[in-house]
Amino acid sequence: MLKLAIVVNEPPPYRIPVFNLIARHPEISLQVIFCCRREPNRLWDLPPITFDHVFLRERIRTVRGRYIHNNPDVLLALSRFKPDVVLGNGFNPTHLYAFAWTRLMRRAYIAMTDGTLKSEKSLGTLHVRLRRYVYKRAEAFIAASQGGLALYRSYNVPAARCFRSCLAVDNARFYPHELGAEKPWDFIFTGRLEAGKQPEFAMDVALQSARRLGRRLTLLYVGSGGEEAALRKRAKTLEHQLLVHFHGFATQSELPELYRAAKIFLFPTQADVWGVVANEACAAGLPVIVSPHAGVADELVVDGQNGYVRPLDVQAWTDCALGLLKNADQLRVMGERSLLLVKPYCFESAAKGIIDAAGAAREVLSDYASVSRPV
């Protein structure tokens, strides 16, 4: 029986089903150690947790908009559970304590990241040195994307010790009732209404599409945030050209029907290491127009197949949107392609990546221990 501890910041809804699957594996004893119950900016409603888990005493500090977890009691939690393998999904002090514990106790460590070579290109010297130190000593590595695997290659991590655990949603819950059905919303934007997510850009694209088509179009916002008041004010001035509805925060149970009610998903983010909202849109059979700043670009969303990858240029996005709105067959074909491309991004595949990495990490550590030393 392999004892696996996973140290993560908080319970994320897209990882809980993966951990539930791992916990049911007959040869793994799992414990997940959470730094906190919920980070302050999260409004997630969570699926049932059926795996063994521990919540550490919350110690969160905010640095330039990021939450930094510093939980020394992770050392006590690990000492109680006594895992063979520890997985850490970051470089918060809590994860570094967990890494140090594995070196002291001679246990295997897995480094896991949702980041990519692109998302980490501007890291400071200290952050790069920390990664080099940990990556040189970790027994296995897990990335959520091809971009994450490229990140590991940039640190000269051996490919044989790298594994993939994709980010996924419950695809079956989002599956469309009927492809080609009439839909009330031409566009949908899902996510936090904050500047970095570019919700106003989505309105610009919808507005330009309406003007060029010469008819009123519709846009649905799902989410909330600091930009909402300004967006609402602007939307009122555009009512004769664009009907905009603000749904607000949506629970996981509400999301499938919201996606199914729209034709095109707009994802104009300025920075997303992946973008699980694109999984949701693809699982609902929507074409996606995405910026190159999202990890899903050219992986889950393939330009010209199930959507378009375009720089944040309103006219370029409008051209793509109009090509879909004017051609019902193209809209349907790209929606069907989304359903096919999202299939491999499932909880079972994500769980397998972690399970395989844990087994490999233990083997690597065993190989180290079995190396004979000269007398």
Spell out the domains of the chain, with CATH numbers in brackets.
2-168+346-370 (3.40.50.2000), 171-342 (3.40.50.2000)
CA 63 to chain centre: 21
Q: In DSSP terms, which residues pair with 8 in a beta bridge?
A: 34
For residue 227, give the 3-state DSSP assignment: coil
> How far, in Å, are 44, 47, 191, 223, 303 from residue 253 at the CA level?
11, 10, 16, 14, 30
Which helix (H) or strand (E) segment is 254 a member of? none
The residue among 340, 15, 2 whose CA lies nearest residue 166 is 15
> How far, in Å, are 58, 289, 297, 364, 370 from residue 373 at the CA level?
44, 57, 48, 17, 9
Q: In DSSP terms, which residues pair with 141 in a beta bridge?
A: 111, 162
> How far, in Å, are 26, 168, 260, 300 from residue 14 at the CA level?
22, 6, 20, 16
pLDDT tens digit at each of 375 positions of the chain = 999 999 999 998 899 999 999 999 999 999 999 999 887 777 777 889 999 999 999 998 887 777 889 999 999 999 999 999 999 999 999 999 999 999 999 999 999 999 999 889 888 999 999 999 999 999 999 999 999 999 999 999 999 999 999 999 999 999 998 766 789 999 999 999 999 999 999 999 999 999 999 999 999 999 999 999 999 999 999 999 999 999 999 988 999 999 999 999 999 999 999 999 999 999 999 999 999 999 999 999 999 999 999 999 999 999 999 999 999 999 999 999 999 999 999 999 999 999 999 999 998 877 665 544 443
